């Protein structure tokens, strides 16, 4: 069988010493001993900081960077992020609590989510975080909860834009959607709202996620600025903030390239010149995986090796219950391999034999690496899945079959 295209370009963020991958300067045996766990996620702070620096290097300096906690809510990471980003986006009361307790100013925390319960709306109003209101009923609930409390809700409208992202990736705008209020309906509502019942902030225009196409992102930004201007024109009070979305993707699969931020930044600078009213207010980009996914690995141990009708299987102590997205069951249509390597044999030539690494679950879906050319994989070696710093443990069915939960470390 032909060897698959090399994926080394998307595993190059980590340091390697004596063929051992290092996370925060430590090899996997050391990390395992520190945690006292044989399978874990490890996140490298230096790589997160590098991604943040990359953002600032290319984006206009006036655009603020917010971290979408849903991508990785590991408390030590979120705490560290407190000093590295300008704000947090939260999607639940639990994430909100985490965000507040890092010491991030509440003015820089926003709460989005299409089905907020009254208790969550109340919690957000009491905390003073900005509600990204996603329906007309949610607005009236927020206003009446605010009136009962004697606290004005801080409101920004999440808009379901009429434009759609022109590319693959996760589309979250255009057509009918559960997210936000349709742009055309909002344009009707805005002139007639009673703004004395709320503390009005602005708009949240979120069009998609995991995008690797420069032109599609530029196009989305062009559409977002045009829409934001229309919304400002229709609003009789001051618009203080526009969140212009996020969506910057990271390469997961062979053949994918890292996103080139240079033309995206250039286009945004041009838009700021074209729309001076927008340039004068607070603009935010909110990112999750772009900041953290490349900084994380998932490391499990090979504990058995067997051959079935000529094909070699590596059995590991990790699996889909810890890392659903790597198994291909978190939104992917066709399963493709994440970059995987033997973490204690980095840099050596990979074997010509294609092997399959699996976990302990009684389902063929529990596949960590399918027919991959790894480097002489043996029992006791570390099987490392890269690009694992986002949508890992908290996006996985950890209780499925009752195996132990996975542990995490930030180094
Ligand atoms: C509103 C909102 N913000 C941010 C994100 C984070 O996306 P990503 O991790 O791809 O940056 C999402 C993802 O679904 C989202 O829905």
Cβ of 180 closer than 6 Å to ligand 1, yes or no, is: no
- CATH of segment(s) 73-287: 3.20.20.10
**pLDDT at 4 > cutoff 50:** no
- Is any ligand 1 atom within 6 A of the Cβ of residue 71? yes
- Interhelix angle for 118-127 vs 93-101, to 10°? 20
Residue 95 has φ and ψ, to the nearest 5°, of -65, -35
Task: Find the mean pLDDT for residues 4-24.
Answer: 80
In this predicted model, which residue has the larger pLDDT, 333 or 36? 36
Q: Are strands 130-133 and 154-160 parallel, antiparallel or unpaired?
A: parallel
Span 1-27, average pLDDT: 78
Q: What is the per-residue pLDDT for 1?
A: 42
DSSP assigned state of 100? H
Which strand (E) or helix (H) includes residue 22?
strand 20-22
CA of 246 to the centre of ligand 1 (A): 7
Candidate from 52, 55, 68, 394 with most ligand 1 atoms within 8 A of CB, to mutate:
68
Least confident interval from 255-259, 261-265, 405-409 = 255-259
CB 290 within 8 Å of CB 250: yes
Query: Mean pLDDT lowest for which of 161-165, 241-245, 379-383?
Result: 161-165
DSSP 23: B
CA distance 391 to 288: 9
Residue with token string 């990785």: 72
**Helix or strand (DSSP H, E) at 202:** strand 199-205
Rg of the chain (C-alpha set): 23
pLDDT of residue 108 exceeding 70, the answer is yes
Residue holding tokens 């000093």?
A: 83
Find all residues with CB under 8 Å of 127, minimum gap 6, and list them: 96, 100, 106, 109
Each residue's pLDDT tens digit, 180-212: 999 999 999 999 999 999 999 999 999 999 999
Each residue's pLDDT tens digit, 43-90 = 999 999 999 999 999 999 999 999 999 999 999 999 999 999 999 999
Please tell me the distance between residue 247's alpha carbon and the centre of ligand 1 in angstroms.
Answer: 7
Q: Which residues pair with 298 in a beta bridge?
A: 41, 385
Which atom, in ligand 1's list, is nearest to the CA of 248? Answer: 11
| Residue 244 Cα to ligand 1 middle (Å) | 12
Give the distance (Å) from ligand 1 centre to CA of residue 124.
Answer: 19
For ligand 1, the distance from its centroid to the CA atom of residue 118, given in whole angstroms, is 23
Establish whether residue 112 lines the binding site of ligand 1, counting it when its CB lies within 6 angstroms of any ligand atom.
yes
For 90, residues 6+ apart whose C-beta sits below 8 A from its C-beta are: 69, 70, 96, 98, 99, 109, 110, 111, 112, 129
pLDDT of residue 9: 57
Q: Are 72 and 392 in contact (CB under 8 A)?
A: yes
Atom of ligand 1 nearest to the CA of 204: 1
Confidence of residue 143 (pLDDT cuts 50, 70, 90): very high
CATH number of the structural domain 8-44+294-410: 2.40.37.10
- pLDDT > 70: percent of the chain: 97
Ligand 1 mutation target, pool 132, 206, 285, most atoms within 8 A of CB: 206
Determine which residue's CA is closest to atom 13 belonging to ligand 1: 209
Cβ neighbours for 213, distance < 8 A, ≥ 6 positions apart: 166, 167, 168, 169
Instruction: State the helix-helix crossing angle for 136-149 and 118-127, rounded to 10 degrees.
Output: 50
- What was the pLDDT predicted at 333? 84
Structure confidence at residue 168 (pLDDT) = 57
- Across the range 281-286, mean pLDDT stands at 98
Strand, helix or coil for residue 91:
coil
The answer to whether the 8-44+294-410 and 73-287 domains have the same CATH topology is no
The tens digit of pLDDT for each residue in 262-282 reads 999 999 999 999 999 999 999
Between the CA of 312 and the centroid of ligand 1 the distance, in Å, is 38
Residue 145 confidence (pLDDT): 98
For residue range 220-255, what is the model confidence (pLDDT) as tens digits? Answer: 999 999 999 999 999 999 999 999 999 999 999 999
Task: Please report the pLDDT score of residue 380 as a whole number.
Answer: 98
Assign 171 a pLDDT band (cuts: 50, 70, 90). confident
* Residue 25: strand, helix, or coil: coil
For the chain, the domains span 8-44+294-410, 73-287
Sorted by sequence, the CB contacts under 8 Å of residue 14 that are 6+ apart come out as: 21, 22, 23, 44, 47, 297, 386
Of 72, 179, 286, 292, the residue with max ligand 1 atoms within 8 A of its CB, to mutate for a pocket test, comes to 286
Helix ranges (DSSP H) in 128-260: 136-149, 183-189, 214-234
């Amino acid at each position: 069988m032909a060897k698959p295209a090399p994926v080394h370009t998307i595993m190059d963020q980590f340091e390697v010493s004596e063929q051992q991958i290092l996370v925060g300067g430590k090899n996997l045996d050391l990390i395992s001993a520190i945690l006292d766990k044989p399978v874990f996620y490890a996140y490298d702070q230096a790589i997160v900081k590098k991604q943040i620096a990359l953002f600032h290097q290319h984006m206009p300096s006036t655009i603020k960077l917010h971290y979408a906690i849903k991508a990785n809510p590991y408390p030590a990471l979120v705490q560290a992020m407190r000093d590295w980003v300008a704000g947090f986006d939260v999607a639940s009361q639990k994430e909100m609590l985490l965000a507040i307790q890092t010491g991030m100013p509440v003015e820089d925390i926003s709460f989005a989510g299409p089905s907020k319960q009254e208790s969550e709306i109340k919690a957000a109003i009491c905390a003073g975080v900005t509600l990204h209101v996603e329906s007309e009923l949610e607005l009236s609930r927020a206003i009446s909860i605010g009136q009962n409390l004697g606290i004005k809700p801080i409101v920004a409208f999440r808009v379901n834009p009429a434009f759609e992202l022109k590319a693959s990736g996760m589309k979250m705008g255009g057509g009918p959607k559960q997210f936000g209020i349709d742009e055309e309906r909002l344009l009707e509502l805005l002139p007639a709202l009673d703004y004395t019942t709320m503390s009005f902030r602005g708009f949240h225009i979120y069009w998609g996620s995991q995008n690797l196409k420069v032109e599609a992102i530029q196009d989305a930004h062009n559409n977002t600025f045009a829409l934001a201007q229309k919304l400002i024109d229709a609003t009789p009070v001051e618009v203080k903030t526009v969140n212009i979305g996020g969506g910057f993707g990271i390469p997961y699969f062979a053949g994918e390239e890292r996103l080139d931020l240079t033309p995206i930044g250039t286009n945004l600078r041009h838009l700021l010149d074209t729309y001076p009213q927008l340039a004068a207010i607070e603009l935010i980009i909110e990112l999750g995986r772009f900041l953290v996914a490349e900084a994380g690995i998932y490391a499990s141990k090979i504990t058995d090796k067997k051959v079935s009708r000529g094909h070699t299987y590596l059995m590991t102590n990790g699996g889909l219950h810890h890392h659903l997205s790597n198994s291909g069951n978190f939104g992917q249509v066709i399963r493709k391999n994440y970059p995987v390597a033997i973490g204690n044999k980095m840099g050596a030539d990979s074997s010509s034999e294609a092997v399959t690494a699996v976990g302990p679950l009684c389902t063929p879906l529990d596949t960590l690496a399918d027919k991959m050319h790894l480097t002489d994989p043996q029992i006791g070696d570390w099987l490392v899945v890269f690009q694992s710093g986002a949508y890992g443990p908290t996006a996985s069915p950890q209780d499925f079959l009752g195996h132990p939960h996975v542990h995490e470390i930030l180094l």
